[in-house]
Structure 1
Amino acid sequence: MTLTLVKSPDEAAETEPLTLAALRHEIDLLDSEMVALFQKRLELADRVGRAKDAPTGGYVKLRPDREQAVLAHVLQGARPDTRDAVEALWREVVGHGLARQGQLSVRVWAPVEPARAFDAARLRFGRAAELKTERDPQAALAFAAEGKGVAVLAINAGDPWWMGLRREWAALSVFEGFGRDIPTSLAVGRIDPGALPRGDRVLVTAGGDAGDGSGAGRRGLDTHHGWTLSLTSAPVVPGGPEGCVGAIA
């Protein structure tokens, strides 16, 4: 005959806290390891900042192409249910690393749903960046043109500021889009053209949005007096005759 030992309610109550304590102890150990790894990464970021060549032409220190490649590598090891959390954590880590080389300043203009645009910019650039709102898109563009920071501006918000990317703000490039399928705002800055991310090219052109001569169609984002802001998958060159003013991943 086999005897089965049944724990009393008092014994079960004593076992549960021990299990919880063990789990909390394991979390404490992981927290200590994470802090040590984070500090080591900051030290390596400092060394990279001192070793790399300083950008010429007044470009900001951001390398969207490098960030895109590293983030893709990081997300390969993330489970589908943790991808958003992993990306948010990674952007915070990178943001603090960049801040060691000088705080990044971001100006946000979004007259419609400003909190949404501000939150998207905060997620993209991290809490180490300095974020401020602007009431005037031209002021945000002028700030970005100085090369000391970047601007995040809403589109389809009643102001065709993007037309200036082919005119007085030609030194600025689009390097990020915010929105799931169709961008609702764009980030611009003095970005080295060779550091733009791989992805859709952003076009500012006169006329419609039927195509760009490469066989690739355009997806319109905004229009104003015969001018169109659109995306294309064609590998057009920024600053070229096609009207490419940047790229988004």
Structure 2
Amino acid sequence: MPHSTLQQVWPAPLDVSPEQMALAALRHEIDVLDDQLLALFERRLAIAARVGKAKDAPSGPHVKLRPDREQAVLDRVLAQSEPDNREAVESLWRQIVGWGLARQGRMQVQVWSPVEPTRAFDGARLRFGAAADMRAVRDPQAALKWASEGHGVAVLAVNAGDPWWTGLRREWAGLSVFDGFGGETPTALAVGRIDPAALPSGRRVLVTAGGDAGDGSGIRRRGLDTHHGWTLSLTDAALPVGGAEGCVGAIG
């Protein structure tokens, strides 16, 4: 009778039970998988560093983010995963992508959320991973200026007492919204110098004049905030960034 793999790896003492032997075999299998995962992860990090050097970037200061590519990778991976594993897979993949981006320069994230800071931080941490350097700030306008200079990403709360988002149509027109946190109706938005061609496919973010009455465009919108005749909203309409409709970004 041929020797089993278990007998080859662990010479079993006479007082080891079959249950203990089975547990040892499972642990050995995990150890082997861990070694394989480590080798693949380090290989991915090395390739990510090369990708950073090869990326096409918009002119001027910018952050090395491709939300469209990240969305495509995550969607592909989730489509292959078991339904019961998808939450864990998404969390893991966010960390993997975050550490890959860190090889191109550690992501800097400023968070302004005076009402629910923990919720905004949790959403940003899930999105950018543990590799991101995150800190809370007190002034959303200063965070917008910092992001407009290409230093990093600003995650800013909406409906929190400061209509910072109106500036996306004026002094901060070089910034784009590229993600939202807080569920189906976002309570915070991520803003940065993102190449408009790299924005995710999904709901467009609008900043328009007209308040709750709308601007007469006929586009169906979901309101997020209003201020003195200005409205921040989402729409499913496929609108270009910077057009007359007031599109300032997209949420995947």
Q: TM-score, normalised to structure 1's length?
A: 0.91
SS of corresponding position for 1:202: strand
- 1:202 matched residue in structure 2: 205
Query: Deviation above 4 Å: which 4+ runs of structure 1?
Result: 209-215
- 1:248 matched residue in structure 2: 251
1: CA distance between counterparts of 2:228 and 2:107? 35
Is the aligned partner of 1:48 residue 2:47?
A: no
Gap runs ≥5 in structure 1: 1-10
Aligned amino acid, residue 116 of structure 2: E
Note the 1:24-39 alignment, pairs <5 A.
24-39=27-42
Aligned match for 1:183, one of 183, 186, 199: 186
- Flag the 1:14–1:138 CA change in 2: closer, same or farther, 3 A: same
2: CA distance between counterparts of 1:180 and 1:226? 26
- 1:85 matched residue in structure 2: 88
1:158 offset after TM fit, Å?
1.1
Aligned amino acid, residue 95 of structure 1: G
- Flag the 1:186–1:218 CA change in 2: closer, same or farther, 3 A: same
Aligned amino acid, residue 184 of structure 2: D
Aligned match for 2:133, one of 126, 130, 134: 130
1:96 offset after TM fit, Å?
0.8
Aligned match for 2:20, one of 17, 21, 39: 17
2: CA distance between counterparts of 1:235 and 1:213? 17
Contact 1:106 1:150 in 2 (8 A): yes
The number of residue pairs the alignment matches comes to 239
Aligned match for 2:233, one of 213, 223, 230: 230
Instruction: Give deviations 1:197-237, integer Å, cap 9, x for gaps.
Output: 10111011111456676654110000111110001111111
Gap runs ≥5 in structure 2: 1-13
- 2:242 matched residue in structure 1: 239
Aligned amino acid, residue 114 of structure 2: P
- Flag the 1:237–1:248 CA change in 2: closer, same or farther, 3 A: same
- Flag the 1:164–1:20 CA change in 2: closer, same or farther, 3 A: same
Note the 1:70-109 alignment, pairs <5 A.
70-109=73-112
Note the 1:113-152 alignment, pairs <5 A.
113-152=116-155
Over the residues paired in the alignment, what is the CA RMSD in angstroms?
1.7
Aligned amino acid, residue 40 of structure 1: R
- Flag the 1:179–1:189 CA change in 2: closer, same or farther, 3 A: same
1: CA distance between counterparts of 2:229 and 2:53? 47
2: CA distance between counterparts of 1:166 and 1:54? 23
